[in-house]
Amino acid sequence: MGQKILVTGGAGYIGATAVRLLLKHGHEVTALDNLSQGHREAVPDRARLVLTDLSNREALGTLFRESKFDAVMHFAASALVGESMQLPEKYFRNNVTNSLNLLECCAANKVSRFVFSSTAATFGDPQTSLIDENSPKNPLNPYGESKLQVEAMLHWFQKIHGVRYAVLRFFNVAGAWDGHGEHHDPESHLIPIVLKVAQGKRESVSVFGSDYPTPDGTCVRDYVHIYDLAVAHLLVLDALKERDALAYNLGNGNGFSVREVIEASRKVTGRPIPTVESPRRPGDPPVLVASSAKISKELGWKPRYDKLEEIIQTAWDWHQKYPNGYEGKKE
């Protein structure tokens, strides 16, 4: 049966994709967004869009009292490692304080299921080839720290107020699905930047650091497809009917270096992609690769897109079809 779900950050890259998948599964969805990063055009017509900021406790209180949500998926956040090393205050306010506002509403209104977007950045620099859920968490940047602090709050809100939760630690989300793709202004993520270079919209891509202790000296990341990520959200939503607290890492278990991503993008696009060697970006750990064995074993999650070129292909198709991203895009 359809449930009433609140999706914060519902106009963002990942949030809007989840909104679409929830709608396809018959749920009644409210997307909440302040449009600081999100795009109105990304929200499917059938969802209700509420434009407010999570700092507005009064508006949140009214929304919760009137809407009687069954569950919350909390995507809204500031999510840039580099920026967090310059503006930690923005990360603690937007990610920690605003999540607390939302959790208080859940507790007060007896919303007992909460799915939280956490991140690989909570782990810092673990010295293992595959990061599992028990790997030590020592964030190297305020972004990862802010998400870890929310994980800690969730633990206590569950114990004391009965708000059940699932923490999903995303590795590097990429790709496009059903009209949803990555469009940030300004763009800072590797794959969309590389594709903009392929389109001739940027001259080159900077490679941030080539002296890391990795095979080719550039950072290694685990790229997970947006659709597979959205599917994991539906799985945990269901699992929380029986479980109090869940935490899963979401990745493909394969690491690709910055250079490998660029090379794969050259293959997919058939275009030259000039690079410029640049200094390291502060806050970047050398290697982040997930073990997603736990969610596979417990909930049967199996990525549909597990090859890097395939993931990049979906993103490339989207960039070709919507050269201006969501600007002026119709459903």
Comparing every residue's Cβ against ligand UDP, the nearest one is 219
Q: Which residue from 19, 72, 207, 311 is in contact with ligand UDP, where contact means CB under 6 A? A: 207
State the number of binding residues for ligand UDP (CB under 6 A): 15
Q: Which of 91, 143, 227, 326 is catalytic?
A: 143
* Minimum CB distance to ligand UDP smaller for 112 or for 172: 172
Neighbours of 228 (CB within 10 A): 22
Q: Of 133, 141, 123, 19, which is closest to residue 79 (Cα–Cα)?
A: 141
Cα 91 to Cα 71: distance, rounded to the nearest angstrom: 24
The answer to whether residue 190 forms part of the interface with ligand UDP (CB under 6 A) is yes
Known catalytic residue at 143 = yes
Q: Which residue from 90, 202, 271, 281 is in contact with ligand UDP, where contact means CB under 6 A? A: 281
39: amino acid identity, one letter: H
The answer to whether residue 63 forms part of the interface with ligand UDP (CB under 6 A) is no
Whether 182 and 16 have beta carbons less than 8 Å apart is answered as no
Whether 173 and 120 have beta carbons less than 8 Å apart is answered as no
The answer to whether residue 60 forms part of the interface with ligand UDP (CB under 6 A) is no
Cα 126 to Cα 141: distance, rounded to the nearest angstrom: 14
For residue 242, the number of C-alpha atoms closer than 13 Å in the C-beta half-sphere is: 5
The answer to whether residue 196 forms part of the interface with ligand UDP (CB under 6 A) is no
Q: Which residue from 56, 67, 158, 206 is in contact with ligand UDP, where contact means CB under 6 A? A: 206
Whether 250 and 209 have beta carbons less than 8 Å apart is answered as no
Q: Which residue from 208, 227, 248, 256 is in contact with ligand UDP, where contact means CB under 6 A? A: 208
| Interacting positions 243-262 with ligand UDP (CB under 6 A) | 258
Cα 107 to Cα 122: distance, rounded to the nearest angstrom: 25
For residue 104, the cross-strand partners are none
Written as six digits, the tokens of 302 are: 């199996």
The answer to whether residue 226 forms part of the interface with ligand UDP (CB under 6 A) is no
Whether 233 and 18 have beta carbons less than 8 Å apart is answered as yes
| Interacting positions 78-107 with ligand UDP (CB under 6 A) | 81
The answer to whether residue 221 forms part of the interface with ligand UDP (CB under 6 A) is yes
Distances (CA, A) of 52 to 19, 75, 108: 17, 14, 19
- The radius of gyration of the chain's CA atoms, rounded to the nearest angstrom, is 19
The answer to whether residue 219 forms part of the interface with ligand UDP (CB under 6 A) is yes
* Minimum CB distance to ligand UDP smaller for 131 or for 205: 205
CB of 77 to ligand UDP, least distance (A): 12
* Minimum CB distance to ligand UDP smaller for 90 or for 155: 90
For residue 16, the number of C-alpha atoms closer than 13 Å in the C-beta half-sphere is: 25
The answer to whether residue 193 forms part of the interface with ligand UDP (CB under 6 A) is yes
* Minimum CB distance to ligand UDP smaller for 243 or for 280: 280
Whether 114 and 74 have beta carbons less than 8 Å apart is answered as yes
* Minimum CB distance to ligand UDP smaller for 59 or for 85: 85
* Minimum CB distance to ligand UDP smaller for 277 or for 327: 277
Which residues does the annotation mark as catalytic? Answer: 143
Question: In the complex, which residues of this chain contact ligand UDP (CB under 6 A)?
Answer: 81, 172, 188-190, 193, 205-208, 219, 221, 258, 281, 284
